[in-house]
Each structure stands twice: as structure tokens, then as C-alpha cells.
Amino acid sequence: ALGSDTGGSTRNPAAHCGVVGLKPTYGLISRHGLIPLVNSMDVPGILTRCVDDAAVVLGSLAGHDPKDSTTVQDNFKPFELPILTDLSKLSVGIPKEYHAPGLSSEILSLWSKAADLFKNAGAKVTEVSLPHTRYSIVCYHVLCTAEVASNMARFDGLEYGHRSEVNESTESMYAATRREGFNDVVRGRILSGNYFLLKQNYEKYFVKAQKVRRLIANDFLKVFRSGVDILLTPTTLSDAVPYTEFIKEDNRTRSAQDDILTQAANMAGLPAINVPTALSERGLPVGLQFIGRSFQEKQLLTVAKWFEKQVKFPVIQLEEVKRHDRSVIHHQKSASFS
Amino acid sequence: LAPWVPVVGLEVHAQISSNSKLFSGSQVQFAAPPNSLVSFFDASLPGTLPVLNRRCVEAAVMTGLALNCSINKKSLFDRKHYFYADLPAGYQITQQRVPIAVNGSLSYSLCIDNKMSQLVTKTVRIKQIQLEQDSGKSLHDDTRSQTLVDLNRAGVGLMEVVMEPDLCCGEEAAAAVRELQLILQTLGSSQAVMAEGQLRVDANVSVHHPGETYGVRTEVKNINSIRFLARAVDYEIQRQIEELENGGTILNETRAFDSKLGCTVPMRDKEGKQDYRFMPEPNLPPLILYDAKSLPANMNHQQVVNIDRIRERLPDLPSVKRAKLVEQYGILPEHSFTLLNEDGLAEFFENVVNQTQMKPKKVVGWILKDLLSYLKQHSLTVKESPVSSLLLADLLNLLEKKEISSTAAKQVLVELWKGEGKTPLEIVKEKKLELIEDQKQLEEICQAVIDGQENE
């Protein structure tokens, strides 16, 4: 399936549902046709049952699109994933800042086991540091809300979409339409974003956040330049939280928690993938994330495929489900006869 | 009473002459059926993205070079946010931080004392030229309390030419804009017809006493012709002076020019200062232009805009054309102005000169006085003239060869205006306008007249 990933919106659900979720490098896949949230971070996301499938889908989507001026001009060649046998030349980095507050002990232990898996297979596994990680969530909020305020300005009910009955004046129609059509989460983001873009605030917030964004991107660059090929991190802080638990906190808090491990990759434009790893004690899926170098999807997916093979996540077999459903329907049919 | 120094600064929006819009492929056309030239992007449908039109970039570079600007090899696009019915996206894509061209100048000429005999050359500095989107049109239907929105114009490319406040009156403003209009038309970067909205001028006006700081300025919009521009500016200067001399203050407001009443009035819609919340346009990478030095060796020249190539292909600007006319034909500078001021007149003049022995200095008199005044009287363009350059040349040849007098020539011209297809020679014969040189013949005629007198 296709999704979009601005701060983790493909990888996060993938982790909670036990599927592969790929966020490609920014500029690899065209955003033409993708309803924008944050133009400088959005990418189309790919959800599949296995890593090989993700490579296939990527192969048919990637490449320059003249309709999207932010796609790179370089030629893209679809690839097949080799089977990794020799990991001795692979260097895996474990960013220590991703041991975030609130990370469940289950996931922490899975992360550690995964690191050991690579070590035992001969790969070089080292702890690395991405020092500006703790600023990324706040930075993301400033830039995200600013672009949201801008991108939502077109929803005025005039050309398309919901239009309010209120029509004393154009302004009153706009105001009523937008109040009715946007829920408070969106309205909150628009108001924040407009605040950060005010002339007197622009330098303090928007430009500052852009600078911090550059620092975050540079953190990754430094680590990759030091010889690390790929980073291994958790995707989420825990398995999926039940609804009754979830609604105890407001959307902004939940977003901050859910995105914390995924959105730095959007800030830096890097490719990242969630690979389903194991079931939690509650029987819910948990995944781990790999982050790769810009435009090195082949390497990223090759490593992810190797890892997928090692962990043997209990993927739901659709044939079993279909058989089960068929027998249920059969019983229902018999019931109606008698 | 202490003297007042008026300060006038102009912002000119010129619609780029291109087949399609600045960021989308829809067509650019005047007076098409409403909402028939609107792509998904122009209507701001979510998921659409801007793609820069190369021709628009070239037009802006041409214009920048013609106005002696520095062309920025790297320029950026920004979003300027405000809500209005004719702005579908809720923002306009413009160049606020780093525009495509900066620091130029525009030279124009002014005649002192209203006579075309003393021309003075002045210069106004060009602050910058930026590429930006035009908005759609909204028509207010008060009887039905509704606003009708036509997006045909939404997204059409504009060059905004921002001038420094170097002008001092309506006459200067009109002359500067007229020269800019001629330059744009010569370049072909804009057709610059004010009546079709291809050239729009906003005037910023303020007054102050010499030596004091500049006064509060007002912005005057809704000026539809060069004549109205001069009137609007002069009216506003007067209004401000009178207001201040009566102890009042000038508000930093936007005013519209009412052409019927000949005055400026406050505009209803503008309330307070707008914060446009400028933000970089994330869907457009920086615009990079090259010149011969910076052009990478293996780059496909179809993919790049080369400033030097554009400079090489610039046509002669009006000032150069005028100088050539003066040098080549020995006419006066003020004549060259009038020749270039009328579309097609300079070509007409040259065609006549090439087909007659009469000296260009004399020909130009016939063109500017006789031909032009007739055309003006009947509201005709040079192209619509019933008298072709060939016909006029024939007539002037007869005059030059002394076959007719200059009075007779004017009579022939009157006949030629009728456009009945007769040649000047035919008219001369018909009306017996030939000059008689034969002494004996003249004596006979005179004698006949005297005899006729005696008989009365």
C-alpha cells in the first residue's frame, strides 16, 4: 500500500501493525499528487509484507518527475536485492540518544538483541552519537506548523471542498468554512504556524528552526562519514497503546511521543525503514528501524532484508485467514437453511 | 510659505508575454471565457506543484539587462500569504528575499516648457525586478450581493519593477513609465498594454520640506493609463500639500484614483497593516542562472538559462534606435522621440525616405505634422493609415521635383486621405495642380486675370 511519511506516518503504523514501512530519500519519489502537509519533509511511503516487495514498489515509483521540481535529476535504476552472506564489511551504528525517555523495556531489549545479531554475524557494531536529537521534536513542531499554516491556506471552500452556508461576506464565509472544516488539531497547528511566521517572530522561530534542522542533518552526515553504513534504532517507544489509554493525552503530546524516533529522518531527508521484529508480551507487533545514507536505498533494503530473514517475524498468512473466513461463511449458509 | 518637495516612487507590474503561465502549463490569453484557462495548479488543488516556466525567466533576464541591472545568478522564491477571493492558494509565489535582478536604472526624457524643443534626460534608479504570480479577477456584483471569480489570470507571470523614489511629479512618472513600456515592447518581454491590464502602475507619494525627513506616504492604485498616472500623482501631491498646510496629517493608506472625478479616494478594503508571513517556497529549488564563465562544460544548453546569450541577442533599445535615427537621417532628437512613440511610425518614415529623393529632414516634417495629425484626428494607427508610405513618397517626389508647390501638395494629401486608390500624379492632373514654370504661360494667365478685372 502507499502512504505518506512526514514525521513517521508510514513507519509508525507499520511498526504497530507488523508490516514493512519504507520512507524513501526526499527527492527520490515524486510528490506530485500527494496532498501536502509539510512540503520540505513529506515523502510517499511504501507499506508491504516483506522487504523484497518494498524494493519492487520503489522500483516502479522512483525517479525524476518534471512535475515535481524537488525530485533529483539523476537516473534511477530499479534493483533486486541480493542476499547478504558476508557482513564483515558492514558497519552498524547505534545512536545512544535514541534510548529515549519512555522507551519500553521490551523494545530496549529487542534493540539490544538485534545489535548482538549483527555483531555475531561479523558486522562492526558501534555506539554513535547524534547530539542534536533532543532538539529535533521542537524544531519539527515549528517547521511543521509553519508549513501546515501555509498549505492549509487554500482550503477556503471557494474552489472545492466544504463551503459554509454563512455568506454575508467573503471573509465571513472563509472564517466559517475553515472553522467548520478543520478540527481543533489542525486549527491549533495553523494558529501556531502563523504565529511563527509573523514578521516579528520569523527570525526567532522559523529561521532558528531551520538552523537547528541543518545541525540535525549534519549529525547524520558526520556519523555516516566516519564509516558507519547504517543506523539501527527502535521505531516506536512501545507497542500500540490501547484506545482508552491513548485518549488520556492530547494530540500534541501523543504526536510528540509517536514521532520522536522517526522524524529526524524526515528532517534530514534520509531513507528509513521499519522491519517487523517480534510480538510484544501483549501479542502486538513491534518493529525496529534502519536509517541509511541519502539515495542508498539498495544498501538499506539489503540489510533490512537480511535482518528480516533472521528474526522470522510471524507474518499473518492470508491463505489461513481466507480459509477461516470461508468456513465461517459456510456455517452461516448452513444456518440459514435449517 | 516653505517649499514642498514631492517624492514619487513607482511599482510597475508587467505581465510577461508567454504562451503559458509562470508555474503551470495553462494558456495565457486576454478576454477568454471565464475560468477556461485554469489548470489544477492554478485552482490550487492540493497535490499540484509549481514548475518554473523558462520563457518567463528569460523575459525577466532580458528586462533586467535592458534596465542595466545586476542579474542575480541565484535567486529564490517565497510565499506571500493573504486571503482574498482571487488568490486560490491563500498565498502568492513571489521573490521577496533574493529577486532575479537588482540595482538598475531607467533613462527617460522630458520636454521642458511643454514644447518639444528642449529635451532633458533624467534617470530613475531601479531597485529590483522580481518574478511573481498574477492573481485572478474578482468582480463584485452588488445587486446580487455576490462576488464572481475568474481565475484565467491566476498564475500568469509578472515582472514587478520596483523603482526608487527618484521622481518628483506626474510628468516624470508618465515619461518614465512610457519609456519602460517602449523598452518592454521592444524586448517583447511584455506587450505592456495598460488598457488590457498588461502594465499596472502603483504610485507611492509623499511630500516634505527640504532638509526634513520624508513625509508619510500614500499608495495610489487603480491607475489605468499613462495620462491618468500623471493626473493621479499630481492630484495626490496637491492634496497632501493642502492637507498639511491646513494643519492636517497624512495617513499611511492606500487610495484609488477616480478617473471621472480626477481625484484620489481612500480604498475601502485595506484595513491596517498586513503581515504577509513570508516563507520560502519549499517546492521550488533556488533559481540558478549561468553565464559563459560559469556554465559547466557538459551541460545541455536547453536546460539552462545563459545570461550572456540573452545579452547577445538583445535588440536595439529605444534610446539606441533614436540615436541611430538622429545620426543616420540628421533629424532632431525630439523628432526621434515622436517617431518611436507611435507604433510603426519610425518604419513608415524610413520607408518613405528610402523611396524619395527628398531629404529626411524635410520628410520628417510631413510625417510628424501632416500624417500624424491626420491619424490622431481620426484615431487611426499607423498600420491603419489610408495613405501608404509609397503614396506619400510619390507625393513628396513630385514636390521635390518642383512639379507642384507645397500648397498643392497639401491639397493632394487631403485627396489621398479619402483612400480612393488614386495616385498623387492622377490627383495633380485631375485638379490641375501642376506648377507652371513657363514664363510665357504665366504671363498669359496673369494677363487674363487682369483683363477679367478690367471688365467688371
> Which amino acid belongs to residue B74?
K
A chain contacts of residue B275, beta-carbon cutoff 8 Å = 198-199
Write the burial class of residue B297 (CB in 10 Å: 0-12 exposed, 13-18 middle, 19+ buried): exposed
B chain contacts of residue A32, beta-carbon cutoff 8 Å = 47-49
The whole-number pLDDT of residue B449 equals: 86
Mutation site, B23, B24, B45, B49, interface A, largest A CB count within 10 A: B49
The whole-number pLDDT of residue B267 equals: 85
pLDDT confidence band for B116 (50 / 70 / 90): low
CB B266 within 8 A of CB A133: no
Provide the 8-state DSSP code for A82. Answer: P
The span from the CA of B432 to the CA of B404, in Å, is 10
* Average pLDDT value for residue range B260-273: 78
The span from the CA of A144 to the CA of A9, in Å, is 14
* Average pLDDT value for residue range B309-320: 96
Mutation site, A142, A144, A150, interface B, largest B CB count within 10 A: A150
Q: Which three cell numbers stand for residue A295?
A: 539515495
A174: closest chain B residue by CA: B83
A69 contacts B51? CB cut-off 8 A: yes
A160 contacts B282? CB cut-off 8 A: no
Phi, psi of A15 (to 5 degrees): -65, -45
CATH topology classification for A2-141+214-318:
Amidase signature (AS) enzymes (3.90.1300)
Write the burial class of residue A124 (CB in 10 Å: 0-12 exposed, 13-18 middle, 19+ buried): middle
B303: closest chain A residue by CA: A73
A chain contacts of residue B147, beta-carbon cutoff 8 Å = 170
A chain contacts of residue B48, beta-carbon cutoff 8 Å = 32
Residues B315-359: tens digit of each pLDDT: 999 999 999 999 999 999 889 999 999 889 999 999 999 999 989
Chain A touched by B35 (CB under 8 Å): no
B283 contacts A35? CB cut-off 8 A: no
CB-nearest to B283 from A69, A152, A174 is A69
> Alpha carbon B31 to chain centroid distance?
20
B282 contacts A147? CB cut-off 8 A: yes
Residues 6+ apart with CB under 8 A from B276: B80, B81, B82
Q: Other C-beta atoms within 10 Å of B276: how many?
A: 18
A146 contacts B49? CB cut-off 8 A: no
CB B1 within 8 A of CB B245: yes
Provide the 8-state DSSP code for B112. Answer: G
The span from the CA of B206 to the CA of B217, in Å, is 4
A146: closest chain B residue by CA: B279
Residues 6+ apart with CB under 8 A from B57: B100, B131, B287, B289, B305
Phi, psi of B64 (to 5 degrees): -60, -45
B279 contacts A197? CB cut-off 8 A: yes
Chain A touched by B91 (CB under 8 Å): yes
A194 contacts B277? CB cut-off 8 A: yes
A202: closest chain B residue by CA: B277
Does B435 have pLDDT greater than 80?
no
B chain contacts of residue A198, beta-carbon cutoff 8 Å = 275, 277
The ipTM value here is 0.91
- Pick from B5, B153, B144, B127: nearest CA to B64: B127
The span from the CA of B68 to the CA of B128, in Å, is 11
CB B205 within 8 A of CB B7: yes
**Proportion of chain B in helix, strand, coil states, percent, rounded to 5:** 35, 20, 40
B48 contacts A69? CB cut-off 8 A: no
The whole-number pLDDT of residue A19 equals: 96
CB A98 within 8 A of CB A129: no
B147 contacts A150? CB cut-off 8 A: no
Q: Which residues of chain A have pLDDT under 50?
A: 334-338
Residues B125-177: tens digit of each pLDDT: 999 999 999 999 999 888 988 889 999 999 999 999 999 999 999 999 999 99
Residues 6+ apart with CB under 8 A from B370: B410, B413
B47 contacts A151? CB cut-off 8 A: no
Q: Which three cell numbers stand for residue B430?
A: 485631375
The whole-number pLDDT of residue B113 equals: 67
Residues 6+ apart with CB under 8 A from B118: B111, B112
A chain contacts of residue B44, beta-carbon cutoff 8 Å = 154, 159
A147 contacts B279? CB cut-off 8 A: yes
* Average pLDDT value for residue range B191-212: 95
Mutation site, B279, B298, B302, interface A, largest A CB count within 10 A: B279
The whole-number pLDDT of residue A337 equals: 39
pLDDT confidence band for B115 (50 / 70 / 90): low
The whole-number pLDDT of residue B6 equals: 97
> Alpha carbon A97 to chain centroid distance?
18
The whole-number pLDDT of residue A329 equals: 67
> Alpha carbon B111 to chain centroid distance?
18
CB-nearest to A69 from B48, B84, B285 is B285
The whole-number pLDDT of residue A331 equals: 61
A chain contacts of residue B89, beta-carbon cutoff 8 Å = 153-154
B chain contacts of residue A40, beta-carbon cutoff 8 Å = 282
Q: How far is A50 from chain B (nearest CA, A)?
A: 29
A35 contacts B47? CB cut-off 8 A: yes
The span from the CA of A190 to the CA of A184, in Å, is 10
- Pick from B82, B272, B21: nearest CA to A150: B82
Does B17 have pLDDT greater than 90?
yes
Phi, psi of B129 (to 5 degrees): -125, 130
End-to-end Cα spacing for chain B: 72
A-side interface with B, Cβ within 8 Å? 31-36, 38-40, 66-70, 146-147, 149-154, 156, 158-160, 170-171, 174, 194, 197-199, 202, 206
B279: closest chain A residue by CA: A197
pTM: 0.90
B279 contacts A206? CB cut-off 8 A: yes
The span from the CA of A298 to the CA of A233, in Å, is 19
The whole-number pLDDT of residue A338 equals: 35
Provide the 8-state DSSP code for A204. Answer: I
Q: Where do the structural domains in chain A lie, given as residue ranges?
A: 2-141+214-318
The whole-number pLDDT of residue A253 equals: 82
Provide the 8-state DSSP code for A96. Answer: G
Q: Among all chains, which residue has been given the C-alpha cell 537547528?
A: A212
Q: How far is B52 from chain A (nearest CA, A)?
A: 8
A chain contacts of residue B47, beta-carbon cutoff 8 Å = 32-36
Residue A166 sits at the vertex; the CA angle it makes with A163 and A168, to the nearest 5 degrees, is 125
Does B211 have pLDDT greater than 50?
yes
Cα dihedral A327→A332→A335→A336 (10° resolution): -140
The span from the CA of B284 to the CA of B68, in Å, is 27
A160 contacts B45? CB cut-off 8 A: yes
pLDDT confidence band for B429 (50 / 70 / 90): confident
B43 contacts A69? CB cut-off 8 A: no
Q: How many CA atoms lie within 13 A of A311 on its CB side?
A: 29
> Alpha carbon A315 to chain centroid distance?
21
Residues 6+ apart with CB under 8 A from B71: B61, B64, B65, B100, B101, B289, B307
Q: How far is B90 from chain A (nearest CA, A)?
A: 5
